[in-house]
Amino acid sequence: MATQTETLAKFASELKFEDIPPEVVERTKDCIIDTIAACTFGSELPWSKMMIDHALATSGSGKVSIFGPEGHKVQPAMAALANGTLSHSFELDNLRMPSVGMHPGASLVPCAFGMGQELGASGKDIITAFTAGIEVLSRIGQSSNHSSEDIGFHNPGINGGFGGAMAAGSIMGLDADRMTNALGIAGSLSSGLLEFAMSGTGGMVKRLHLGRASESGILASTLARDGFTGPNTILEGKFGWTNVFCRGADQAKLTAGLGEVWDAPHIVFKRFSCHITSHTPVQGILDMKAEHGFSGDDVAKILIEGTKKCGTHHYILEPTDVMLGQYSNAFCAALALFKDPMDPRNFSQESIDDPKIREVCRNVEIRELPEDAQYEYALGSRLTVTLKDGREITHDSPSFKGLPIDPLDRESLWEKFSKLCYRLGDKEAERLFEQLCEIETIDDIATLDTTGKA
């Protein structure tokens, strides 16, 4: 009898473009568009430039693009390291809900494009590779019951390499045995700790976690291609992923619905450059300002009632750097009082140091909502804003645009894409967007120019 690891590997190795439902193809294209936009914006950030410099210094010349207007080309693994880091460099990349602790775009697009550009894969091959990756990655995430972060692991860092290995392996046409070995290798490359959210220092390292996951995907799949082996029980074995990185994992979820229930429709797209738990508080602040006409200067304090994770991981009242600010529910709500949270450039050190924002931030209290009041995907929040004139205003914020129940349409996605890809120029950004909307018609993905220089 096949192990669960082998079952997932076999599915990924045999998946064909024709097997994928049309709605899954369209949502996959949205995810690719969103990820390349996040990378392009991220390429100008200080920590991203450090990673790009590292990739250029470490890799020889190659065929694979580091996304952004500079047009750097390196070897596949270094490109995946850079692009995974860029995509996750400013809390703009997509994720999955109900939450299973995975970031599909940042984990899969660098690997699919990395091997795709290297080998001359088609747009259909890219979509197939992404789908193979997300179907495996999501089930691994679901099996964890989101317990890994309670231990202290950063979920996307420890699970992303599995999906990346399947995406890259799909492009290379690996058979089921080699795909199994790729998973076995990827499991031993899993890494990423949450201490960045607790220590108050070192926030840059979070950006690296998705880069390392993508790099691991390329490394695991290419080693497997060459005959390197890994355990065929890496997911379910006694010392496998679900037993080492998780507490109370449900291994039945590893293969449940495989080939029948597709995961791309569960992808969530962000409009604010912050952790997903801050999206309903930020949306709530915007709604309250519009309805009641107050400004940030009028606010004395804020009570945010949200998920348990808001209190355990995101109750940060005095963030010291941008990463901690983006992880802080209090800071994000305070920023939305004074600045436009839809402009990622407002999530800056200048905003972190802004005395008005800091004053409100220090006067935020976070409590846990009862589970039955957390609305869609356990992301909803309730805000009570106390104004300096003594008035209290309470507002329920159950969801936000970008969730599967209210997905971004192509027009909204273009709005985000054009804002993030401003360095490409308006015409070139529009050209790239239109090409990505029809990526399945591209015969050789290496001919797709992502620099704005075409």
Averaged over 106-119, what is the pLDDT?
A: 98
Q: Which percentage of the chain shows pLDDT scores above 90?
A: 91
Q: What is the residue-averaged pLDDT of the chain?
A: 95
Q: Which alpha helices (DSSP H) does 201-353 contain, by range?
A: 204-225, 241-244, 279-292, 308-313, 322-327, 329-338, 349-353
Residue-level pLDDT at 446: 96
Sign of CA dihedral 210, 211, 212, 213: positive
pLDDT digits (tens, 9 = 90+) for 6-16: 999 999 999 99
Residue-level pLDDT at 375: 60
Residue-level pLDDT at 198: 85
Calpha distance 356→297 (Å, rounded)? 8
At the topology level, CATH places domain 276-397 in 60s Ribosomal Protein L30; Chain: A; (3.30.1330)
For the cut 60, the answer to whether the pLDDT of residue 374 exceeds it is no
Give domain 4-268's CATH architecture: Orthogonal Bundle (1.10)
Of the listed ranges 195-209, 346-360, 435-449, the least confidently predicted one is: 195-209
For the cut 90, the answer to whether the pLDDT of residue 454 exceeds it is no
Percent helix / strand / coil, the chain, rounded to 5: 60, 10, 35
Calpha distance 430→297 (Å, rounded)? 39
Q: How far is CA 142 from CA 26, 277, 380, in A?
A: 23, 18, 20
Residue 440 φ/ψ, nearest 5 degrees: -65, -10
For the cut 80, the answer to whether the pLDDT of residue 202 exceeds it is no
| Half-sphere exposure in the Cβ direction for 28 (13 Å, CA) | 29
Calpha distance 417→162 (Å, rounded)? 28
Residue-level pLDDT at 65: 97
For the cut 80, the answer to whether the pLDDT of residue 48 exceeds it is yes
Burial class (CB within 10 angstroms; exposed 0-12, middle 13-18, buried 19+) of 315: middle
Calpha distance 374→106 (Å, rounded)? 27
Cis peptide before 98 (omega within 30 of 0): yes
Residue-level pLDDT at 296: 97
276-397 and 4-268 share a CATH fold: no
For the cut 90, the answer to whether the pLDDT of residue 377 exceeds it is no
Calpha distance 318→305 (Å, rounded)? 19
C-beta of residue 163 within 8 angstroms of C-beta of residue 133: yes
Residue-level pLDDT at 200: 76
Residue-level pLDDT at 376: 59
Averaged over 7-33, what is the pLDDT?
A: 99
Calpha distance 60→56 (Å, rounded)? 7
Domain ranges of the chain: 4-268, 276-397
- Which residues neighbour 129 within 8 Å (Cβ) at sequence distance 6 or greater? 108, 111, 112, 115, 116, 121, 166, 167, 168, 170, 171
Calpha distance 312→152 (Å, rounded)? 11
Calpha distance 52→345 (Å, rounded)? 20
Calpha distance 277→269 (Å, rounded)? 13
Q: Which percentage of the chain shows pLDDT scores above 70?
A: 98
3-state secondary structure of 281: helix
Structure tokens at 237: 């074995």
pLDDT digits (tens, 9 = 90+) for 319-341: 999 999 999 999 999 999 999 99
Residue-level pLDDT at 311: 85
Residue 308's DSSP bridge partners are none
- Which residues neighbour 409 within 8 Å (Cβ) at sequence distance 6 or greater? none
Would you list the DSSP string of 66-93? PSSTT--EE-HHHHHHHHHHHHTTTS-S
